[in-house]
Amino acid sequence: MSPAASTLDLPFARRRLSNGLDVIVHEDHRVPIVAVNIWYHVGSKDERPGMTGFAHLFEHLMFEGSQHHDKGYFPPLQQAGAQLNGSTNTDRTNYWEVVPTSAVDRALWMESDRMGYLLPALTPERFETQRKVVLNERRQTYENRPYGLALMALMAGLFPFDHPYRWPTIGDVPDLEAMQFDDVREFFRAYYGPANASLVLAGDLATEDGFELADRYFGDLPAGQRPAPVHAAASLAGERRLVLEDRVELPRLYLAWHSPAMFAADDAELDLVADLVANGKAARLYRTLVYEDRVALDVSASQQSRELSSVFVLAATAAPGKSLADVAARVDEALTELAANGPTDAEMERARAQVESNFLYRLQTVGGFGGKSDQLNAYNVMRGEPGYFAQDLERYDSATQQSVRVAAGRYLMAEGRVALSIVPRGQAGSALPGSEPISVS
Amino acid sequence: MTVDRSALPAVGPDPAFLFPRFEGHRLANGLEVRVVEHGSMPIVSFALVVGGGSGSDPGGCEGLMGVVADMVDEGTGALGAIEVSEALANIGGDYDVEVGADAVVLTLTTLARFLDRGADLFADMTTRPSLRAADFERVRQLRRDRLRQLKDVPSAVAERAFLRLVYGSHPYGHLSIGDESSLASLPLDQVVQAHGAAFRPSNATLVVAGNLRGGELLRAAERAFGSWQPLESNPLMLGADQAVSAGARRRLALIPREGAAQSELRIGRLAARRDTPDYPALVVMNAVLGGQFVSRINLKLREEKGYTYGARTGFDWRKGLAPFVLHASVHTAATAEAVTDTLHEFEALRGERPVTPGELELAKASLTRGYPQSFQTVPQVARAIGQLALYRLPDDYFTNFGPTIHAVTIDDVTRAARAHLDPGTLTMLVVGDQQAVAAKLSNPEWPALEILGA
């Protein structure tokens, strides 16, 4: 076990309420705050073609009031000194509050009220306003931002039209515009019950008090359904070359491959590959593309780990006067070399040191995105084991030069991948040769 | 067990908050070192606050201090840029540099078992960077290319243009990345000169934080930074010392962005210095007006009208006169309405609709009760102590923040809004589709629309 893994001491206790709600309590008394973190196991993967964007729009509606507090969710909590937020991705929706210890009752009252009693407060007017807010969010975050549509185009290239990862979590515009109030209500009934949720209380409270509070506020809510798991497979034969014209100054190449699901064999290896090729100046692709040959301005890589299957994405922006073909040739060369000879000892050591330390850095906070409470929930929902910390880190410790080499070969040398060129408007010719235009709605 | 859902549970009294106690020392070379024992994970952070940021860039050299800061991890002694990056990775180092208007703040976080290696590497990088010509050329070119890319980012276009509108040629009037012509002509000897002028023991504060004994943290700092000696250099110009006035008239400007789905808005003015006695009242005023989700402007523009994904106001605090600005990206069709609504809210707070007792209480509670959350991690605490040094604030500043905010009255907020938020001198900037928005922006109560280049 690595030195860091041995210091990972996160004691917790878990119980399941009779309605199926998982409750996990972790004590940390250093700061007089408590993190409340709740995951609903629903995301855009649970949507259907033609009806996309529900999970995310729904997250917005959860902040608009519930039966016994029929107005905005923020004021009583901000008045209590809370920080709070929520987010939706393909696999899950999470909500969190971090409150002074003296306000934990209020936070749980509010979370439980919207879990149990949202629909009586959900009006067509509130729905209409949030539909507009989400359309604004889409314009601001995707359409009005350079390269903002890249991931949408990649997913459309990687997945068939009915695959749960095909559409963006924010939803397609025509679907958002066509969304019906009644469908939104149905979505709540299907996914927002205790049986499909997991609650973490972390911070300045005693374990038994935590369970007692959870039972008091959530214990009498009806269980709701536990939705059937989603299954889907996707593969790609050959390279698909796509081009998208956008309001950008310089062309950027995106390469994307199908890769193993979160926590599956080779998931950690591909995470290490991403570090090895693009994290820091010493990383292989940064070094050749940006530092030495100067054909690119930047390069990034990530293993985007998800529940059903993952995607490995690599991106590089061409330097002025350089072509995407130059960039692609060097990327392929570097990946081929990695798949043939694997990383060096020194590279493995660096990558592991970075993984280890980033792991610890994240766990300095009890709440918020990525803090201890969020991570306990992630492990519980995705693994059924809230205390998966040391085993998670162990995946990286036990990776070897050999296993990284093999993973790079198996997944990144595969025939099937998407090569997306994002090019300045009117310059479709600067895409990789043979690219077909793609439009995203 | 049944819960009483007829009323929200009351909230207990404010939690007591004591900012971690730190110790200050001065090394023989004049460097101020502050150490603090903090955190439960085996992590240490070094934060070096160097006086003089982008506000120290001389006219024609906009972007200079940004380049200096960027060159810090490009090589030191026998290590080239790649080797520095490897050395950082070997200790799991998280290295970060921020170039503000008044200071450069460099931070290195690493695992506690690498305390000495981290301290040595950080000292070598910051105090003895190689500043080689080849690295300089590459860094400068990357920054020029980055500038070119930023032309496509509406928020970056707006930030840059807004500073130029309110500050004119004052050294605060540019972003730390500078501009194309200044970067193109920047000579390396200016970079060497600026590093020597700013990076001096007497012009810096080093904070070391971590879950080790204070003595050990201090020893590591002394070992690594004790031999730092200043180079001969010219004195450093500071933006805070250069005169600037708040502007005497209202302005309305548009930067055309054909076909833009949204308009990027900036509305504000030069308002106050960080050391103004009105600081607590202004912080409360901002919370009521636009500083948080439940503020007046966000509730109006987002929750009531659905014009935007979010609107926020804030101060970009500086030692010298600092701007107070609304930031929002709004649906193109709602551009003029969003400007009108914002102006109304600015004006109303000055008298017609002063802050209510309920709003005052909400603002104070959210500012103070959640305060301890900002000081959980080791780098957060290190940077916070660095801020105290930068703005010359007392050691007990964070501990006293709550009581200071609680003392603010409704009259204080109204007075502060009247003194610092004169709507007659606001600068209003839109980055958006000229064809779609220009006609609606012509309003007899507003100044004539100026069309600017990007």
How far B235 CA lies from chain A's nearest CA (Å)? Answer: 34
CB contact under 8 A, B309 and A140: yes
CB contact under 8 A, A145 and B153: yes
CB contact under 8 A, B11 and A80: yes
How far A4 CA lies from chain B's nearest CA (Å)? Answer: 8
pLDDT computed for residue A6 by the predictor: 62
- Looking up tokens 């019950």 gives A193
Q: Which residue in the set B146, B152, B365 is minimally distant from A79, CB to CB? A: B365
In A66-135 the beta strands, taken as DSSP E runs, fall at 83-88, 93-100
* Helix, strand, coil tally for chain B in percent (to 5): 45, 20, 35
Q: Which of B149, B205, B195, B295 is nearest to B22 (CA)?
A: B205
Q: pLDDT at residue A278 above 80? A: yes
Q: Which residue in the set A132, A216, A346 is minimally distant from B1, CB to CB? A: A216
**Which one-letter DSSP state was computed for residue B304?**
I
The number of beta carbons lying within 10 Å of the beta carbon of residue B167 is 22
For residue B329, report the phi and psi dihedrals to the nearest 5 degrees: -120, 115
- Looking up tokens 């010509």 gives B133
Q: How, if at all, do strands A239-246 and A417-424 pair? A: parallel
Q: Which residues pair with residue B32 across a beta bridge? A: B26, B205
What does the angle CA B409 – CA B411 – CA B415 come to, to the nearest 5 degrees? Answer: 125
Report the SS3 class of residue B48. Answer: strand
Rg (chain B; Cα; Å): 24
Asked if B360 and B288 touch (Cβ cutoff 8 Å), the reply is yes
Q: pLDDT at residue A1 above 70? A: no
**Ramachandran class of A259: left when φ > 0, alpha when ψ lies in -120 to 50, beta otherwise:** beta
Contacting residues for A375 by C-beta, under 8 A, at least 6 apart: A362, A363, A389
Domain ranges of chain A: 10-218, 239-437
- At the second CATH level, the architecture of B23-240 is 2-Layer Sandwich (3.30)
Asked if B205 and B23 touch (Cβ cutoff 8 Å), the reply is no
Contacting residues for B78 by C-beta, under 8 A, at least 6 apart: none
Q: Which residue in the set B11, B262, B371 is minimally distant from A106, CB to CB? A: B11
* CA–CA gap between residue A318 and residue B398 (Å, rounded): 46
Contacting residues for A228 by C-beta, under 8 A, at least 6 apart: none
Residues in chain A within 8 Å Cβ distance of B6: 68
For B298, name the nearest residue in chain A, comparing CA atoms only: A133
Asked if B271 and B324 touch (Cβ cutoff 8 Å), the reply is yes
Mutate to test the interface with B, among A109, A133, A344, A349 (most CBs of B within 10 A): A133
Q: Which residue in the set B16, B82, B261 is minimally distant from A144, CB to CB? A: B261
Q: How many residues does chain A have?
A: 441
Complex-level ipTM: 0.90
For A318, name the nearest residue in chain B, comparing CA atoms only: B145
Each residue's pLDDT tens digit, B157-167? 999 999 999 99
Report the SS3 class of residue B37. Answer: strand
CB contact under 8 A, B5 and A3: no
Angle between helices A345-362 and A267-278 (to 10 degrees): 110
Residues in chain A within 8 Å Cβ distance of B146: 297
pLDDT computed for residue A309 by the predictor: 97
Q: Which residue in the set B5, B9, B41 is minimally distant from A364, CB to CB? A: B41
Q: Which of A141, A40, A50 is nearest to A91 (CA)?
A: A40
For A321, name the nearest residue in chain B, comparing CA atoms only: B145
pLDDT computed for residue A32 by the predictor: 87
Mutate to test the interface with A, among B95, B293, B296 (most CBs of A within 10 A): B293
* CA–CA gap between residue B120 and residue B382 (Å, rounded): 18
Each residue's pLDDT tens digit, A229-266? 999 988 999 999 999 999 999 999 999 999 999 999 99
Each residue's pLDDT tens digit, A394-412? 999 999 999 999 999 999 9
CB contact under 8 A, B145 and A80: no
H/E element, A206? none
pLDDT computed for residue A5 by the predictor: 60
Asked if B103 and B52 touch (Cβ cutoff 8 Å), the reply is yes
- Report, as an integer, the average pLDDT of B231-253: 92
Asked if B257 and B154 touch (Cβ cutoff 8 Å), the reply is yes
Cβ density class A43-80: b for 16+ within 10 Å, e for less: bbbbbeeebbbbbbbbbbbbbbbbebbeebbbbbbbbb
pLDDT computed for residue B13 by the predictor: 85
Percentage of chain B exceeding pLDDT 90:
91
The domain A10-218 having CATH identifier 3.30.830.10: the answer here is yes
CB contact under 8 A, B86 and A350: yes
Q: Which residue in the set A33, A319, A353 is minimally distant from B91, CB to CB? A: A353
Does A137 touch chain B if contact means CB atoms closer than 8 Å? yes
Residues in chain B within 8 Å Cβ distance of A82: 366, 369-370
Q: Which residue in the set B12, B39, B145 is minimally distant from A319, CB to CB? A: B145
- Report, as an integer, the average pLDDT of B100-117: 97
pLDDT computed for residue A327 by the predictor: 97
CB contact under 8 A, A136 and B109: no
How far B42 CA lies from chain A's nearest CA (Å)? Answer: 8
Q: How, if at all, do strands B204-210 and B32-37 pair? A: parallel
- Report, as an integer, the average pLDDT of B272-301: 96
> First vs last Cα of chain B: how many Å apart?
63
CB contact under 8 A, A136 and B81: no
CB contact under 8 A, B365 and A367: no
Each residue's pLDDT tens digit, B36-56? 999 888 999 999 999 999 999
Tokens of B385: 């102590």
Q: How, if at all, do strands A296-304 and A197-203 pair? A: unpaired
How far B89 CA lies from chain A's nearest CA (Å)? Answer: 5
The number of beta carbons lying within 10 Å of the beta carbon of residue B74 is 23
* CA–CA gap between residue B163 and residue B174 (Å, rounded): 6
Mutate to test the interface with A, among B180, B305, B361, B369 (most CBs of A within 10 A): B369
Mean pLDDT of chain A: 95
How far B234 CA lies from chain A's nearest CA (Å)? Answer: 33
**Which one-letter DSSP state was computed for residue B153?**
-
Q: Which residue in the set A79, A143, A249 is minimally distant from B261, CB to CB? A: A143
Q: pLDDT at residue A353 above 80? A: yes
- Of the candidate CATH numbers 3.30.70.920, 3.90.1300.10, 1.10.167.10, 3.30.830.10, the domain formed by B251-451 belongs to 3.30.830.10
- Report, as an integer, the average pLDDT of B70-74: 98
* CA–CA gap between residue B264 and residue A166 (Å, rounded): 30
pLDDT computed for residue A305 by the predictor: 97
Does A344 touch chain B if contact means CB atoms closer than 8 Å? no
Contacting residues for A66 by C-beta, under 8 A, at least 6 apart: A73, A110, A113, A114, A116, A117, A118, A120, A121
Tokens of A211: 């369970």
CA dihedral B168, B172, B173, B178 (to 10 degrees): 140
Q: Which of A419, A436, A252 is nearest to A335 (CA)?
A: A419
CB contact under 8 A, A106 and B9: yes
Q: Tell me whether residue B375 is exposed, middle or buried, using C-beta atoms within 10 angstroms of its C-beta: 0 to 12, 13 to 18, 19 or more.
A: middle
For B371, name the nearest residue in chain A, comparing CA atoms only: A81
For residue A241, report the phi and psi dihedrals to the nearest 5 degrees: -100, 125
pLDDT computed for residue B380 by the predictor: 96
H/E element, B361? helix B357-369
Topology match between the domains A10-218 and A239-437: yes
**Which one-letter DSSP state was computed for residue B92?**
T
Asked whether the CA dihedral A110, A111, A117, A118 is positive or negative, the reply is positive
Q: What is the largest CA-CA distance in chain B?
A: 75
- Our separate counts of H helices and E strands in chain A read 16, 12
Q: How confident is the model at residue A144 (pLDDT cuts 50, 70, 90)?
A: confident
Residues 65-94, chain A, touching B (beta carbon < 8 A): 67-69, 72, 74-76, 78-83
**Which one-letter DSSP state was computed for residue A370?**
T
* Helix, strand, coil tally for chain A in percent (to 5): 45, 20, 35
- The amino acid at residue A407 is A
- Report, as an integer, the average pLDDT of B218-234: 95
Q: Which residue in the set A144, A219, A279 is minimally distant from B154, CB to CB? A: A144
Each residue's pLDDT tens digit, B306-317? 999 999 999 999
Report the SS3 class of residue B98. Answer: strand
CATH domain A239-437 topology: Cytochrome Bc1 Complex; Chain A, domain 1 (3.30.830)
CB contact under 8 A, A353 and B149: no
Write the DSSP assignment of A212-247 as a string of letters.
Answer: HHHHHHHTTS-----PPPP-------SEEEEEEEES
Tokens of B140: 């400068």
Q: Which of A380, A367, A311 is nearest to A41 (CA)?
A: A380
CB contact under 8 A, B372 and A247: no
- The amino acid at residue B232 is E
Asked if B176 and B99 touch (Cβ cutoff 8 Å), the reply is yes
How far B84 CA lies from chain A's nearest CA (Å)? Answer: 9
Report the SS3 class of residue B372. Answer: helix
* CA–CA gap between residue A53 and residue A46 (Å, rounded): 10
pLDDT computed for residue B81 by the predictor: 96
Each residue's pLDDT tens digit, A316-343? 999 999 999 999 999 999 999 999 999 9
Kindly report which listed range (A1-15, A387-401, B250-264) carries the lowest average pLDDT score. A1-15
- Report, as an integer, the average pLDDT of B397-408: 96
* CA–CA gap between residue A175 and residue A164 (Å, rounded): 15
pLDDT computed for residue B2 by the predictor: 78
* CA–CA gap between residue B184 and residue B47 (Å, rounded): 31
Residues in chain A within 8 Å Cβ distance of B372: 31-33, 100
Asked whether the CA dihedral B185, B189, B192, B198 is positive or negative, the reply is negative
Q: How confident is the model at residue A430 (pLDDT cuts 50, 70, 90)?
A: very high
* CA–CA gap between residue A301 and residue A269 (Å, rounded): 13
Q: Which residue in the set B3, B331, B375 is minimally distant from A109, CB to CB? A: B3
- Report, as an integer, the average pLDDT of B11-32: 92
Does A370 touch chain B if contact means CB atoms closer than 8 Å? no
How far A360 CA lies from chain B's nearest CA (Å)? Answer: 7
Q: How confident is the model at residue B17 (pLDDT cuts 50, 70, 90)?
A: confident
Does A349 touch chain B if contact means CB atoms closer than 8 Å? yes
CB contact under 8 A, A361 and B12: no
Q: pLDDT at residue B68 above 60? A: yes
pTM for the structure as a whole: 0.93
H/E element, A399? none
Residues in chain B within 8 Å Cβ distance of A349: 90
pLDDT computed for residue B148 by the predictor: 93
Domain ranges of chain B: 23-240, 251-451
How many Cβ pairs within 8 Å bridge chains A and B? 226
How far B78 CA lies from chain A's nearest CA (Å)? Answer: 16
Q: pLDDT at residue B268 above 80? A: yes
